[in-house]
């Protein structure tokens, strides 16, 4: 199996609810449900890899508080070298509403100070050679994002393929955020975006055409994946061919991190040199299962039939 790493945002999510109607200032509302969980795009993907029994590295930082220590514990020895910032750990408080909507209150916390030096503290370029590095949470990790070009140079030098899932920009898909994303993608081997992100980036309504257009500005032989929620996913592969996967019909209980779980399963399959159609199908199945199970279930260790072995 090829080596895997995720680089980006790990933070604390505190989910409470359901709440309705919106409370008046100065009142207290008693809710039925609370859940404290490891969150952030990189955190979500890392948790999925842990559950899938896949070996990986995770580069992140934390704040200097109990939450930071708790996040670090969740990743054991993989988090030993994570730098500790003087800021409080980024906390996202999410309120669920009976109609399935969510409202979030998020502190700035430790994430903006995650830096390229921090990444190099944790990751060993030689060990990742020939593998994949997933960059996530681009619009939250300001210091690192400012050094993305140097990160791409480092990845090129070590023969590491870079996959990008920026996540949704806090300021929205402004022309500046689209331009920055397209510039990063020109240095990437893999794009893992959802449908709205893809059509917005391309300025085209059709997701297949949009994926083809953005992919044409990426590295030669790049793969562009479009995540389509209940509709599954499509991808334009290294040869330019379109591949599609249908999502299983499930009853959703909690969609948080669906895309990040998808990314983890997709890369786990790719790292085992599976064909694109198998990677896409594995990713949709693992993601759909995760968001429809409580407590979350990823389907256990991810193993593929060895086709060559089967034939003998
Ligand atoms: N309603 C749903 N029913 C079944 N599967 C779903 C549903 N929503 C998401 N999924 C699964 O999760 C995968 C990724 O979800 P989605 O396309 O919503 O990504 P995303 O928008 O990047 O998610 P995120 O909100 O985490 O950023 C889908 O390809 C699908 O397999
Ligand atoms: Mg997403």
Chain segment 113-127, per-residue pLDDT in tens: 999 999 999 999 999
**Which atom of ligand 1 is least distant from the CA of 256?**
26
Chain segment 253-287, per-residue pLDDT in tens: 889 999 999 999 999 999 999 999 999 999 999 99
**CB-based contact 85:64 (threshold 8 Å):** yes
Exposure class string for 149-158: b at 16+ Cβ within 10 A, else e: eebbebbeeb
The residue among 111 and 302 whose pLDDT is bigger is 111
Please enumerate in sequence order all residues whose Cβ is within 8 A of that of 214, keeping only pairs 6 or more positions apart, or say none. Answer: 182, 185, 191, 198, 201, 202, 224
- 4-19+33-301, what's its fold? 3.40.1190
Chain segment 202-240, per-residue pLDDT in tens: 999 999 999 999 999 999 999 999 999 999 999 999 999
**What integer pLDDT is reported at residue 152 of this predicted model?**
99
CA–CA gap between residue 230 and residue 236 (Å, rounded): 19
Q: Residue 250 burial by CB count (10 A; 0-12/13-18/19+): exposed, middle or buried?
A: middle
Length of the chain: 312
**CB-based contact 105:92 (threshold 8 Å):** yes
Q: 295 preceded by cis ω (within 30°)?
A: yes
Residue with CA closest to ligand 1 atom 14: 259
CA–CA gap between residue 76 and residue 46 (Å, rounded): 12
Q: Which residues line ligand 1 (CB under 6 A)?
A: 194, 227-230, 232-233, 247, 250, 252, 255, 257-260, 262, 284, 287-288, 291
Q: What ranges in the chain are assigned the alpha helix state H?
A: 41-51, 66-74, 116-122, 125-128, 142-146, 148-158, 175-185, 195-202, 207-215, 258-270, 276-291, 307-311
- The secondary element (H helix, E strand) that includes residue 245 is strand 242-245
């Amino acid at each position: 199996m090829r080596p895997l790493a995720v680089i980006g945002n790990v933070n604390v999510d505190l989910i409470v609810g359901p709440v309705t109607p919106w409370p008046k200032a100065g009142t207290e509302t008693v809710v039925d449900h609370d859940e404290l969980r490891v969150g952030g795009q990189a955190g979500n993907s890392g948790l999925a890899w842990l559950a899938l029994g896949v070996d990986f590295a995770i580069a992140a930082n934390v704040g200097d508080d109990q939450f930071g220590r708790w996040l670090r514990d969740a990743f054991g020895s993989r988090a030993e070298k994570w730098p500790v910032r003087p800021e409080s750990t980024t906390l996202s408080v999410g309120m669920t509403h009976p109609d399935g909507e969510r409202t979030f209150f998020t502190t700035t916390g430790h994430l903006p100070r995650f830096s390229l030096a921090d990444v190099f503290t944790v990751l060993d370029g030689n060990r990742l050679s020939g593998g994949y590095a997933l960059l996530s949470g681009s619009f939250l990790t300001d210091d690192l994002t400012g050094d993305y070009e140097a990160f791409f140079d480092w990845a090129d030098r070590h023969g590491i393929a870079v996959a990008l899932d920026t996540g949704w920009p806090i300021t929205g898909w402004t022309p500046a955020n689209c331009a920055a994303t397209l510039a990063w993608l020109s240095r990437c081997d893999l794009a893992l975006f959802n449908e709205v992100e893809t059509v917005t980036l391309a300025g085209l309504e059709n997701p297949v055409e949009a994926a083809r257009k953005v992919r044409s500005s990426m590295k030669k032989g790049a793969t562009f994946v479009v995540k389509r929620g209940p509709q599954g996913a499509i991808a334009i592969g290294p040869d330019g061919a379109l591949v599609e996967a249908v999502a299983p019909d499930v009853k959703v209980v909690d969609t948080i991190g669906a895309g990040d779980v998808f990314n983890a399963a997709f890369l786990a399959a790719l790292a085992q040199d599976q064909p694109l159609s198998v990677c896409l199908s594995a990713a949709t199945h693992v993601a759909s299962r995760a968001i429809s199970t409580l407590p979350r279930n990823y389907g256990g260790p991810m193993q593929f039939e060895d086709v060559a072995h089967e034939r003998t």
